[in-house]
A and B are shown apart, each in its own frame.
Chain A
Amino acid sequence: MITLVNPAFGTKILFAADEDDVELWLDCLDDTILADKLDDEAVKRKAAAMAL
């Protein structure tokens, strides 16, 4: 069972076929979110550097 929570869509619960599949989905979702977060931070840092 995978639970996604976001202010935009509330809570979404999804079911994968098996534990391995859950793992793969979780890895992918975690990584995607983390990458997006890091991208955002990189953009902010770049903007801050530009401002200086």
Chain B
Amino acid sequence: MTEKQINLIKPAGDTTTQPSFNISSWDYGCCGLVHFDRANSRLRINFGDGKVAILTISDSKSLHAARDLILARSAVSKISHEFLRKKVLAAGNVLATSHLVPAFSKHHDHEQDRVFSSTEILDKERRHAHGMMQHLNDNSNSNSNSNTNNNNDFDSTNKPKPNTKSKSVEGYLTTKIDRQWIRSYFHFKFDSARNLPILSCRNSKASPNATFEIELHNACVFAGGSSSFRLQDGDGRDESNNYKKSVFAFGVQTNNSFFIFASDDAEEISRWVGCLSTVLIDDARNVMLASDSTLLSSHLFEVLKRDECVGLLSNAEIRVNINVCESFQTVDVDIVSEGTTSASATTPAPAPAKAPAKAPMPPPKPPPADDDSVSVKKSKRSSKNSRRTSQPRPPPMGKGSGEGSRSVSSSTIAEEAGEGESERSENITRLPPTPPRAPPRAVPQAAKFDPTEITMAPPRRGFLRLSASEKFFYVVDAAVKPPLLRSFQTEAESKDTSNQLEALVLNSETMVKYACDKRKPMRRSRK
């Protein structure tokens, strides 16, 4: 039996009820599907290759937090390394291969209560992929597959919103099915007859029949800030496809599978992401890549650290460690709040006895040396970070936990989360190794905190493009509450705010993501 039921522990005295969503450490991010069982306050994580963990969380808000963390992180993991069998690495610039991800319901045989082996899973994947291609227009096949998987496992917030059923998008995309990249004409729309959102694939726009369909009920779309994808084959070599230049991509996770759709046209991807993310999800956090949340939170953390106000927001940083030993006999999970004592350090985990200290999964390979865009991109953002505060960045979360079994992967995670930027950056001075973090303060020091000390960038106004043909004048209006990014047809209209086209709210729920275009020569960071 490979399932272990464990409890998520909150530190003694931690009364936080609404933690923010920052992932600072993730020792093993190979999440397949996360089943959100609201009724039983449980998260059931299928690691995709036969390992299943059940996380029982005592209070529902922490459950939501953990769910969001895992969902966000699993997207990164899928696109990045583990799920793609270490073929790729994510660190700013994501190298990606697409792959049909094993499905929980497909691989776990409830009747026999056993977990399939990796070989069986691969066989099933192949059969499934072939089946998708062979059962052309067999809508009932995919529908029945998905419908049988619902069973209250997924959060209902992912269901399509009624007012978005009229939205559709279509165009040429490239995806990988059964180890083959295919460029096809995809059309997404809400099928009123079946009351389901359907992504259909045709060989070309003129083809009358769909070659296959993907039912996107309960699906999530993942779009990253790092959108320059490079496609690789299973041996890590660049694939000889049409994408010698930048490739942009987004991911779609259904109940059964995970697909990456790529295009060399960023605006094409933009159209798809814009539509799918609007239609398929209610919770925008599901499209948040962890690196982005980390970026935002790290700013906050830096400021608080600088002002010695760590602990002021006792729930500002939530660390989630999931450590899966190779024996898969033990899963340790703890959630701790920054500014409090680590739960694992003070309270023995209630999980079954720990397995002998086996090495965690090895870290992913470092990025290719020729991947300039990674370092350039990171250095640019790092330079921004460095000018916000004169102090070195705090050590990665989790490094001070003193848990040897996490030491290897925590550095990996730190790099993923942006903490390893200085090592790759040519513009950042190398700092001496940071000592383990001192025990965090338990008492907030609100009196020393003054948000006005933060050096803010000046207000921005100027032209931005939505697409090749749509160009508007944008103004960040921080004077109103919440601050807005407003668009106008012309600069003149922006001054009297007469014909405002759109107002995007820039409150704390907003995630800003960065993406570079490898086609354009990157300049050195400004000083």
Residue of B nearest to A40 (CB): B508
Instruction: Kindly identify, within residues 290 to 342 of chain B, every residue whose CB is under 8 Å from any CB belonging to chain A.
Output: 295-296, 299-300, 303, 312-313
B245 within 8 A of partner (CB) = no
Residues in A neighbouring B458, C-beta threshold 8 A: 28
Closest to B459 in A: A28
Question: Given A11-B223, A35-B456, are A2 and B483 also a contact pair (CB < 8 Å)?
Answer: no
B512: A residues at CB distance < 8 A: 2-4, 26, 29-30, 33
Measured between beta carbons, the chain B residues less than 8 angstroms from A5 are: 277, 284, 287-288, 510-511, 513
Kindly name the residue among A12, A33, A41 whose own CB sees the greatest number of chain B CB atoms within 10 A. Answer: A33
Among B472-505, those with CB < 8 Å from A are 474, 476, 478, 481-483, 485, 504-505
Q: In the complex, how many angstroms separate the beta carbon of B134 from the nearest chain A beta carbon?
A: 34
Whether A4 pairs with B510 at a CB distance below 8 angstroms is yes
- Check if B463 sits within 8 Å of A17, measured CB to CB: yes
Q: List 9 A-B pairs, Cβ < 8 Å.
A: A1-B270, A10-B284, A22-B514, A23-B380, A24-B457, A29-B460, A29-B506, A35-B478, A41-B312
List, in ascending order, chain A residues with CB within 8 A of B511's CB: 3-6
Q: Are B456 and A10 in contact (CB under 8 A)?
A: no
Let me know if A11 and B520 touch, CB within 8 A.
no
Quick one: which of A6, A17, A26, A32 has the most chain B CB within 10 A? A32
Q: Is B237 an interface residue, CB under 8 A from the partner?
A: no
CA distance A27 to B388 in the complex (A): 11
Smallest beta-carbon distance A10→chain B, Å: 4
- The answer to whether B485 touches A29 (Cβ under 8 A) is yes
Contact of A34 among B454, B460, B463 (CB under 8 A): B454
What is the 8 Å Cβ interface bit string for chain B, positions 222-239, against chain A (1 contact, 0 not)?
010101000000000000
What size tier do the contact residues of chain A reach?
35 or more
Tell me the bound Cα distance from A35 to B507 in angstroms: 9
Which residues of chain B in 356-404 are interfacial with respect to chain A, using CB atoms and an 8 Å cutoff?
380-381, 384
B122 within 8 A of A: no
Determine if B509 and A38 form an interchain contact, defined as CB atoms under 8 angstroms apart.
no
Contact check: which of B296, B515, B522 meets A1 at CB < 8 Å? B515
Cβ distance B182 to chain A, nearest Cβ, rounded Å: 25
Which interface class (under 10, 10 to 19, 20 to 34, 35 or more) fits B? 35 or more
Residues of B within 8 A of A1 (CB): 227, 266, 270, 514-517
Complex contact B273–A13 (CB within 8 A):
yes
CA distance A29 to B270 in the complex (A): 19
With A4-B504, A15-B464, A27-B457 as known contacts, state yes or no: A34 contacts B300, CB within 8 Å.
Answer: yes
Interface residue ranges, B against A (CB under 8 Å): 223, 225, 227, 266-267, 269-270, 273-274, 277-278, 282-285, 287-288, 295-296, 299-300, 303, 312-313, 380-381, 384, 446, 449, 451, 454, 456-460, 462-466, 474, 476, 478, 481-483, 485, 504-517, 520, 522-523, 526
Are B515 and A11 interface neighbours, CB within 8 A?
Answer: no
A residues sitting closer than 8 Å to B (CB atoms) are 1-42, 45, 49
- What is the CA–CA distance of A15 and B515 in the complex, to the nearest angstrom? 10
Q: Are B299 and A30 in contact (CB under 8 A)?
A: yes
Q: How far, in whole Å, are A6 and B485 apart by their CA atoms in the complex?
A: 12
Q: How far is it, in angstroms, between the C-alpha of A8 and the C-alpha of B161 when the chains are bound?
A: 13
Given A7-B283, A14-B474, residue A20 in contact with residue B526 (CB < 8 A):
yes
With a 10 A CB-CB cut-off, give which of A20, A23, A37 has the most chain B CB atoms: A37
Shortest CB distance A47–B (Å): 12
Q: Whose C-beta in chain B lies nearest to the C-beta of A39?
A: B451
Contacts A12-B504, A20-B526, A34-B296 given; does A28 touch B457 at CB 8 Å:
yes
Contact check: which of B267, B284, B465 meets A6 at CB < 8 Å?
Answer: B284
Known: A3-B513, A30-B296, A45-B446. A36 touches B507 (CB 8 A): yes
**Which of A2, A17, A38, A49 has most chain B Cβ within 10 Å?**
A38
8 smallest A-B Cβ distances: which pairs?
A37-B508, A3-B513, A28-B460, A38-B451, A1-B515, A13-B270, A27-B457, A11-B277
**Nearest chain B residue, comparing its CB with the CB of A30:** B512
Provide the bound-state CA to CA distance between A36 and B384, in Å: 19
B274 touches A27 (CB 8 A): no
B residues in contact with A17, CB < 8 Å: 463
Q: CA separation between A18 and B235, bound complex, in Å?
A: 35
Once the chains bind, are A11 and B278 in contact (CB under 8 Å)?
yes
Q: Which residue of B is nearest A5, CB measured?
A: B511
With A33-B512, A42-B451 already in contact, the answer to whether A10 and B507 are too (CB < 8 A) is no
Residues of A within 8 Å of B313, CB to CB, are 41
**Contact across chains for B522 and A11 when beta carbons are under 8 A apart:** no
Contacts of B288 in A (CB 8 A): 5
Least CB separation from B513: chain A residue = A3
Cβ contacts under 8 Å, B384 to chain A: 23, 26-27, 30
